[in-house]
Amino acid sequence: MGKNSYEAVSNFATWPYAGKRVVVLSSTLTSVCAQAELFTGDIIHLVKKLHDEGIKHIYVDGGATISQFLNVGLVDQLIISIIPVVLGSGIPLFSKINKDKWCQLLSSQAYSNGLVQLRYEVKNNGFTDS
């Protein structure tokens, strides 16, 4: 996750990622809590390092961080949760995407509280019907 997402969850009463390995990407932070680790390098090197450690799946959180992973083609799936609140302002979900990323809907799930979760496959080479 990126610095802003980390700073938001680090203020929660309980750590929301208990039992999960959390890597915080930041070029400005000098330390993170004991439940996380800090990474300041290139994300391609991070993914190679995690792969070498046997990690097969990575959950990426934080708009700017997701955008970085999308821009270098390291996202296979997007899970987008739509919460039934209309905001007047806020942080965009994606920023600085270098080119359009076509996606194919894999599934959708509506919940009784109004939340809708969409799961997409990212098609990095343009839209296809297959």
Would you tell me which CATH number, out of the four given (2.70.70.10, 3.40.430.10, 2.20.28.10, 2.120.10.30), belongs to the domain 3-123?
A: 3.40.430.10
For residues 16 and 2, is the Cβ–Cβ distance under 8 A?
Answer: no
Per-residue CA distances from 83 to 4, 48, 74, 86, 118 (Å) = 20, 34, 26, 9, 11
pTM, rounded to two decimals: 0.83
Domain ranges (residues) in the chain? 3-123
pLDDT in tens, the chain (130 residues): 999 999 999 989 999 999 999 999 999 999 999 999 999 999 999 999 999 999 999 999 888 899 999 999 999 999 999 999 988 888 788 888 888 889 999 999 999 999 999 999 998 654 444 4
Number of helices (H) and strands (E) in the chain: give both, helices first. Answer: 3, 5
Cα(21)–Cα(36) distance, integer angstroms: 7
For residues 25 and 39, is the Cβ–Cβ distance under 8 A?
Answer: yes
Beta strands in 40-101 (DSSP E): 77-82
Per-residue CA distances from 20 to 65, 70, 78, 83, 111 (Å) = 18, 22, 19, 24, 25
